[in-house]
Amino acid sequence: MEPDSSSPAQAGIQGDVNVIIAEPAWRRFVPRARAIVERAAAAAGVSADIVLADDRMVRRLNARHRGRDKPTNILTYEHPAAELILALGVIRREAAAMARRPAHHLAHLVVHGALHLRGMDHEHPGDARRMEMLEARILHRIGVPNPWKRA
């Protein structure tokens, strides 16, 4: 597995989604997590293996591939195959801090990772704004509130 690069990716666009629930607690904290992930990935037009993991797994991968010894909400890999890996604890804490449903935050992060697989990034303000607007449109199509709208 290699972390995603900044070059536009064509890998993983349109196709099947394989959801792997590596951390069983996902079933308890985000009922219907598999369906949410599949729907978000399909709406974003991406094919990938999507792993619902724990913080420890994501921390280990983040340290190995990005030199950051801490968990993050999602890791996106393009090669050798399109893959998104999400950390349950981080996502639960972020959702609580933002007063959002964990299911909505999960859908948002799957869309976010899918857009990275499609070659989008948010390193520059203009790119970030375009990515946020597209995320909001995709999420609206699947009934998830705009995560960028201030309440």
Q: Is the pLDDT reported for residue 46 higher than 60?
A: yes
Kindly report, residue by residue over 68-124, the tens digit of the pLDDT.
999 999 999 998 889 999 999 999 999 999 999 999 999 999 999 999 999 998 888
Please count the other Cβ atoms lying within 10 Å of the Cβ belonging to residue 114: 28
Collapse the DSSP code of 88 into the 3-class scheme (helix H, G, I; strand E, B; otherwise coil) and give the result.
helix
Domain contains 150: no
Q: What is the CATH number of the domain that holds 23?
A: 3.40.390.30
For residue 119, give the DSSP letter.
T
Kindly report, residue by residue over 73-84, the tens digit of the pLDDT.
999 999 888 999
Domain containing 40 equals: 2-88+100-141
For the chain, how many structural domains are there in total?
1
Domain contains 19: yes
Domain contains 30: yes
What's the token pair of residue 34?
Answer: 């598999």
